[in-house]
Structure 1
Amino acid sequence: MESQSSNSSVVGVYDSSLSAGLDIAQYYLSNSVKGSTKQQYDRIYDIWRNFCRENDVEEFGGDHKPLVACLSFVMMQSGSYAKVEMLRAAIAHEYRIRMLSSPTTHETISVLFRGFKNAHPHERQARLPITEEILIKMCAQLYQPIHGRDGLLASVVLWRTIWRICLEYHTLGRFSDIVKLKRQDVIYESSPSPHLKIIFKGGKNDQYSEGSERVVAAHPDSQSCPVKLTINYFQFLGPSYVGYLVPSCTPQNKPNPEKAVPYSGALSDLKKLLTSLGYDSSLYGEHSGKRGGATSAAANGATDKQLKRLGGWRSDSMPAKYVDLSVPSRILLSELLHKKSHP
């Protein structure tokens, strides 16, 4: 009864008029997509806004023809199906917030996109996986003498990038899950053997209703030991740090505990690091860390069921999509078979 009374008083604070209700609804509708998706929508929506302004077209009109023209121009100029798909989604979202019927649902738009695919066939190239060799080179970059003992004088950008990729590799975690981690979500435990206990909260990895807990074992003989790396990273951040573990930077180039780095910034940091290590950064992407971990686990005997459980995938076929089957990877698998047949 007490809670009901409390809830009633909270509801009573709001104006119960239709207009107030619609304003509240608009707020919730605007939050129907994640913050990272909003940022992508905001960037690409300017294309539609500018097109309407330049052609004296109503931005939120009901006619589908201006949208057909805009999307066609973007497709012809960029050749990117993903870009026009993102633009269509961003426009639909803006209409949805305003509770308007969107021209993106018109039958002509669906047919148009079919034409885009037929006229611009493109097979998406899978990104290469991060390998153990790359992780070792990254850690060597971090622990070079100029960065002091245990890399404690290195930059925030270098630390957050290497730690994030290492964690993606060893947990098969998604960027969106790892970027949400805060200090209290990563726990070091020494028993029964040194390891990290990591809690992903509210992500797609929690398919088994376990709170998506990951355990990462120490590898003392490895130069890229994830447990040692994490302990050193926590020393770098300081004992009182409680914020995001993949933080953005303050104007003073210090970690900002209140704000995680955006996806675009994290991907740019990774590509710059790979380039500095002598790799073609265009061949690597968001899932390269996770892809590398799955490939390594499969090469060392992990079954599809084990990969599915570790990665938190719902589909039985999904783990296989993350295992790299490029020529170098297949050669490695073949060599493992050869070693087993010749002890």
Structure 2
Amino acid sequence: MNTRPVILQMIQRMKRRSVVRKTAPSGVSSSSVLNTGRAHIKVSRTEAMCPPLLDPSLNWPLKLLLLLALLSLFSPTPSRRIFVGDREPHSQPTFASDALSMAIGRTSVPLETTSRQQSNRSEVLVEGFSDIFSVGRWKEVLSRNDNEDQRISALKNAIPEYCLKSKAKNTCKKYKYAFNAFCKWCSSFIPQISPLPASETNVAIYIIHLSTKFHSVAKIQEAVYSISWAHSLGDFKNPCDSTLVNSVKEGAIRSVSHTVKKKEPISPEVLSKLVKKFGKESDSLQDIRLCCMCLIAYAGFLRFSELINLKRSNICIFDSHVSLFIERSKTDVYKEGSTVVISRTPNDTCLVAMLERYLRKANIMPFSEEFIFRSILYCKKSKSYKLRKGNKPLSYTRAREILLDALKSLGLESGNFGLHSLRSGGATAAASNGITDRLFKKHGRWKSEKAKDGYVQENLLEKLSVSKKLGI
């Protein structure tokens, strides 16, 4: 509770009462004069100039308040307000000076919000990501004209939607969350900081705040990218392009960076053990689903999103191979789709044979639009497993849990592996066997050499081959 206005009102009321007591006629109480409000009170010039503490007409509570006000004027107490902005803050009158000025009667202190705070609130254009399309260039773009054709107005209103579609759905969702967090941080200060347009100083301070609070490189990068995108949408000058912000960002990333332990790739030997334990014809649908997921992700270099969104209609099985059509991929921004072909082999780890076994047990019809990897129910009556009826793919958490439990049952340290270990395991095996870079990148749907090389883990013999050929 803010007690400042209440105390100032008390001082003003006590001042009036002390003056009324001095000027009220004999036989008339001061309260009656105050209530009627008709008494004509005059204070002489000498009395007005008299120091307040020496004025005999003031009662002792008022003198005590004035004494405290004087003491606080000369005490070096730090200000409790934090000013973060482009301009230097104006000199703010302290509570003590306000109280002393009111008691002496030289000025009146407003008890409402100051005009400076009100004007500062008006400078804040947005409170969240949803407000971006009401400021900046959008005032002109989305402006309505009485003589404008309704078809033009309808197409105009679709412009923000298409601007958001310029980013991937998950990227857009991530940037919205990060920019809303920045707006919330800006609104926590008094006076409030403007998040859009934002100054380079405030953005640099926010980056330091994130680095000290979360110690995460991803948080810093998300904040910078989201603020940059928001300013680009609103056609404002991008503060993230400044040398100051880039220097602070680089320093923050270096200060919070730490060694990252990558998950180990799954080897063909581990897959062979999984198939021998869980992939026999007599095994349950649940166990065969595990083996089928592992073999497809390994042989096709599939990301989890690609694996889990496979439908029966995307699979064509031939005598020599199987063809998988990937509808959506991380690097396929225009949704052109890509086809992955996997050969049939005579080994127990043959993907084509395992896939046929799984589709037969799951009773998934050809050309069906059902996701092939879904949750499984156990039927007590038939004492068997079957897929759920709802066409909803398996979640990442459940798929990861299934894989790690299976690896743990083989005696492996499950903490060293993840779902991405299947993709990196296939890539590592292909690189070790001399697959050309062009086929390697196309099979794994990689766009850059850096991304491709990040999945390959060289074995010890390959690393030693470099020093063996140095001639020493």
For residue 137 of structure 2, what is the aligned residue in structure 1? none
2:182–2:195 Cα contact (<8 Å) kept: no
Instruction: Tell me which structure has the larger Cα radius of gyration.
Output: 2
Structure 1 residues 140 and 121 mapped into 2: Cα distance closer, same or farther (>3 Å)? same
The structural deviation recorded for 1:256 is: 4.3
Question: SS of the counterpart of 2:265?
Answer: coil
1:330 pairs with one of 447, 460, 463: 460
2:166 pairs with one of 32, 35, 40: 32
The structural deviation recorded for 1:170 is: 0.5
The structural deviation recorded for 1:234 is: 2.3
The structural deviation recorded for 1:55 is: 3.5
The structural deviation recorded for 1:86 is: 2.2
For residue 251 of structure 2, what is the aligned residue in structure 1? 115
Equivalent-residue separation in structure 1 for 2:261 and 2:178 (angstroms): 23
RMSD (Å) for aligned C-alpha atoms: 4.1
Provide TM-score, normalisation by structure 1. Answer: 0.68
The structural deviation recorded for 1:24 is: 0.9
For residue 292 of structure 1, what is the aligned residue in structure 2? 425
1:71 pairs with one of 207, 222, 226: 207
Equivalent-residue separation in structure 2 for 1:96 and 1:264 (angstroms): 36
For residue 197 of structure 1, what is the aligned residue in structure 2? 323
Question: SS of the counterpart of 1:213?
Answer: strand
Equivalent-residue separation in structure 2 for 1:283 and 1:46 (angstroms): 35
1:185–1:199 Cα contact (<8 Å) kept: yes
Q: What are the residue-to-residue correspondences of 1:17-166 with 2, within 5 Å?
A: 17=153, 20-41=154-175, 44=178, 47-55=181-189, 57=192, 60-64=195-199, 65-94=201-230, 102-139=238-275, 142-143=278-279, 149-152=282-285, 154=286, 159=289, 163-166=292-295
Equivalent-residue separation in structure 1 for 2:233 and 2:421 (angstroms): 34
Structure 1 residues 44 and 314 mapped into 2: Cα distance closer, same or farther (>3 Å)? closer
The structural deviation recorded for 1:173 is: 3.1
- The CA deviation string for residues 197-231 of structure 1, in whole angstroms up to 9 with x for no partner, is 1122354677xxx9632211233422x33223322
Provide TM-score, normalisation by structure 2. Answer: 0.52
The structural deviation recorded for 1:99 is: 5.8
For residue 167 of structure 1, what is the aligned residue in structure 2? 296
Question: SS of the counterpart of 1:108?
Answer: helix
For residue 234 of structure 1, what is the aligned residue in structure 2? 359
Q: What are the residue-to-residue correspondences of 1:215-234 with 2, within 5 Å?
A: 215-222=341-348, 224-234=349-359
Q: What are the residue-to-residue correspondences of 1:297-312 with 2, within 5 Å?
A: 297-312=430-445
Equivalent-residue separation in structure 1 for 2:396 and 2:177 (angstroms): 13
Question: SS of the counterpart of 2:324?
Answer: strand
The structural deviation recorded for 1:137 is: 4.5
Equivalent-residue separation in structure 2 for 1:332 and 1:175 (angstroms): 29
Structure 1 residues 52 and 202 mapped into 2: Cα distance closer, same or farther (>3 Å)? same
1:44–1:86 Cα contact (<8 Å) kept: yes
How many positions carry a matched residue from both structures? Answer: 302
Structure 1 residues 182 and 77 mapped into 2: Cα distance closer, same or farther (>3 Å)? same
1:295–1:324 Cα contact (<8 Å) kept: yes
The structural deviation recorded for 1:129 is: 1.0
The structural deviation recorded for 1:266 is: 5.4
2:220–2:253 Cα contact (<8 Å) kept: no
The structural deviation recorded for 1:307 is: 2.3
Q: Which runs of 5+ in 2 are unaligned?
A: 1-148, 378-385, 466-472
Higher mean alpha-carbon deviation, 72-81 vs 91-100, is at 91-100
Q: Return the structure number with greater relative CO, CA threshold 8 A, min gap 6.
A: 1
1:249–1:256 Cα contact (<8 Å) kept: no
Structure 1 residues 66 and 205 mapped into 2: Cα distance closer, same or farther (>3 Å)? closer
Structure 1 residues 84 and 221 mapped into 2: Cα distance closer, same or farther (>3 Å)? same
1:45–1:87 Cα contact (<8 Å) kept: yes
Q: Which runs of 5+ in 1 are unaligned?
A: 1-12, 336-343
2:183–2:195 Cα contact (<8 Å) kept: no
- The CA deviation string for residues 98-155 of structure 1, in whole angstroms up to 9 with x for no partner, is 66555444443212111123434445444321222333444456448xxx94432x28
Residue 330 of structure 1 aligns to which amino acid in structure 2? L
Structure 1 residues 29 and 305 mapped into 2: Cα distance closer, same or farther (>3 Å)? closer
Equivalent-residue separation in structure 2 for 1:46 and 1:266 (angstroms): 32
Q: Does 1:16 align with 2:152?
A: yes
The structural deviation recorded for 1:77 is: 2.9
Q: Does 1:243 align with 2:367?
A: no
